Structure 1
């Protein structure tokens, strides 16, 4: 009996990610109804190559992805959310998001660490897929992001 319990426990430990995460994907949060590819594209553009601590939830044709990155200026340019050379905090392309300093927010269904304020919001509607990006802004400088910054990207996956 002890050998059986030890063997079963070892198997559970060995395959814990596959057993306790949707689709066997450790990035997927409980309740997700669609698996995302290994390289996640938010709004048609791959998330930054340095993205870490990635979590996602998918439901009814949309996805919310949380990750950490130091490459947000480049990503915002590649995603056509902010034109090359424009200020990342120009109110023509973005706006402050209503989170006070060190207040946290985690959208319903999304697992992992919360986005902390202050935060900045970027939104793009067509052509192409719509995308909404929230990025943690530095609490010490109005025109910089945290390093690394937590990001929450919301986009359609249909």
Structure 2
């Protein structure tokens, strides 16, 4: 091997590196003597690292929990309409002590019609089949809403 090879001679490699640096410096536009590079504003890292993720998390949480509230409200309205249709009344139906059963596919609770002189009565509403059961002695009501089924 020869000693003038560029890969083995450190002096040649250093000279090549200096030549590359001087060529790169020659290509850069010259800056005026008093010119400074503008500093990055201090609020930008704060916005990128903290504020934007927090705002996005809050928006996502609002969308998830807001959607759940709307879905529950619609379900309650469906139950009220089903009870009113079954009873054949147009008066308001008040729901009380609603409890989800069957992993959220059914609802047990109490209802009272505004024009009823009686107290509250029990019901079971199947959300999948949109079926309402008002008979507390029925097999469907006892298997889902009976105290032994809940415990």
TM-score by length of 2: 0.30
Which structure dedicates a bigger proportion of its chain to helix? 2
Q: Provide TM-score, normalisation by structure 1.
A: 0.29
Q: Higher strand proportion, which one?
A: 1
- The structure with higher relative contact order (CA 8 Å, sep 6+) is 1
Question: Is the radius of gyration larger for structure 1 or structure 2?
Answer: 2
